[in-house]
Amino acid sequence: MKHRFIAKRYWKDQATAMGQSDVMAKCFDDVINLSLGDPDIVTPQIIIDKSYEDARSGHTKYTDFRGDPELRKEICNYYKEEFEMDVADEEVFVTASASLGMYLALEAVLDDGDEVILQSPHFTPYPQQVELARGIPIELDTFENEDFQINPARLRACITERTKAIVINSPNNPTGSCLTRDTMAQIAAIAEEYDLVVISDEIYTAYSYQHPFVPFASLPGMAERTITLNSFSKDYVMTGWRVGNIIAAPHIIKVIQQINENVVFTAPSISQRAAIHALRCRKEIQPQLVATFRERMCYAAERINRVPGMHVIQPPKGSFYLFINIRDTRMTSQEAAERILQECHVLMLPGNAFGSCGEGYLRIACTVEIPVLKEAFDRIEKSECFSNSEIERRNNE
C-alpha cells in the first residue's frame, strides 16, 4: 500500500496466496478449504492436559532466553534416540514457530546483498523472508519428471560469488517430495566445495512415508554448516501453539539469541511445556497421525488421477500436500484455482504461488477427513472445466 507513513519497501503489494486464502474461503457458505496446512485434528489431549497442569503449577513466566532447559534436553534426546545424532545443548534454540526461526536464521547469516538459493517450488514466504534479511532470493527449479529432486548441475549454475546459503525442504511443501540420500549427498558436497550454509527446513519429519527420514545435518561434515529448522505445528498438530526450534553451531545460536531478544524475547512458556510433552509422548501420538494423513493422501491421489486433465505422483512420498499437475487442461494455475472455487466451491492454491516452476499445478492440503475430500472431488468430477469435452476444446483452440 502506497502511503507516506508506510516504508517504501512495502509500497508494492506483497500479499501471498496463503494470506489471501482466508478471504477466498469466505466467498461461499459451503467452501471446502484445501488451501492451508492447518489440520482439522485437535492437538492430542495428553499434550493439552499436561501443559494445562504445568500452567497451573506456575510455568507462565519468561523462560531461559534459549528456551526452557527441559525442552532443550528433550530435543537433544530426540535426536539421539531417533537418528543417533549427538546434539549439544548449546546448539539448540527454541523459537516462536519455525517461520520465525527461518527469519532469525537468515538475519543471523546474511550480509546485505547476499544471495540465497531456494529449492523451488518452495514455501510461499521464503523469498520475502530472504528479502526481509536484506538478501536476494534465487530460485532453483525442480521438476516432476525428476521427482522434484535438486539437480546438481542446476544448483551449481545458481551459485555466484555472492551466494551465502541454500534453503532445502524435505519432506517438501508444496510438492510432497522427499530428497533422496544421493541427492542430499550431492548437495552436501557442493555446499562444502563452495563453503555454503545449508538451511534445512525439516518440519514434516514424521511424514516421510516411503523411507525413514534423514536429517541433513547428520551427513558427514554437515553439522557445522547446517541450520536445521523444526516445528511442532505439523508433527504434533500444534499449529496454534507457535513453537519450534533451531539446531545450529553454537556461534550461530548465540547470534540468533541476540536477534530474538529484540523480537519476541522468548517463545511462549506454556507452548514450550506442550512441546516437552509432545516429544515425551511422541511414540503414543505420532503413529495414528501418520497413518491418518497417509490414508488421506493416498485417497486424494487416487481421486485426482481419475479426474480428466489432472494427475499427481502416486504413491505420495511425504508431507500432507499434493501438487496436482493440470497442464493438460491448458489453463494457468490461477485460472484453474479460480474456476474450481467458483464452480465447485473448493479452495486450492495456484502452483505459481510457490515459485515460477509451479505454474501448471495446484496445491491441496489433505487436512480434512476423507468424506470431505470425497465431496470435494465429487464436485470437481462434475465440473465442466475438467470434462473431457472442455479439455479437448481448449486443446483445439
Phi-psi region of 330 (alpha: psi -120 to 50; beta: other; left: phi over 0): left
Of the candidates 130, 86, 124, 123, which has an alpha carbon nearest to the alpha carbon of residue 106? 130
Strands 136-141 and 92-95: unpaired
Using a 10 angstrom Cβ sphere, with 0-12 exposed, 13-18 middle and 19 or more buried, the burial of residue 259 is: middle
d(CA 56, CA 158): 52
Q: What is the reported pLDDT for 24? A: 59
330 Cβ partners below 8 Å, 6+ apart? 391, 394, 395, 397
Using a 10 angstrom Cβ sphere, with 0-12 exposed, 13-18 middle and 19 or more buried, the burial of residue 151 is: middle
Query: In tens digits, what is the pLDDT along the chain, a chain of 397 residues?
Result: 788 888 888 887 766 555 555 555 566 889 999 999 999 999 999 999 999 999 999 999 999 999 999 999 999 999 999 999 999 999 999 999 999 999 999 999 999 999 999 999 999 999 999 999 999 999 999 999 999 999 999 999 999 999 999 999 999 999 999 999 999 999 999 999 999 999 999 999 999 999 999 999 999 999 999 999 999 999 999 999 999 999 999 999 999 999 999 999 999 999 999 999 999 999 999 999 999 999 999 999 999 999 999 999 999 999 999 999 999 999 999 999 999 999 999 999 999 999 999 999 999 999 999 999 999 999 999 988 888 877 777 777 7
For residue 387 the three cell numbers come to: 470434462
d(CA 170, CA 123): 11
Q: What is the reported pLDDT for 29? A: 84
Q: What is the reported pLDDT for 272? A: 98
Q: What is the reported pLDDT for 9? A: 81
Q: What is the reported pLDDT for 25? A: 57
Q: What is the pTM of this model?
A: 0.94
CA distances from 215 to 52, 176, 184, 209 (A): 32, 17, 10, 15
Interhelix angle 370-382/282-304, nearest 10 degrees: 10
Q: What is the reported pLDDT for 396? A: 75
CA distances from 278 to 44, 239, 318 (A): 9, 13, 21
89, 93, 98, 104 alpha-carbon torsion, rounded to 10°: -140
Using a 10 angstrom Cβ sphere, with 0-12 exposed, 13-18 middle and 19 or more buried, the burial of residue 265 is: exposed
Q: What is the reported pLDDT for 362? A: 98
Q: What share of the chain is helix, strand, coil (3-state, %, to 5)?
A: 45, 15, 40
Chain-centre distance of CA 392, in angstroms?
36
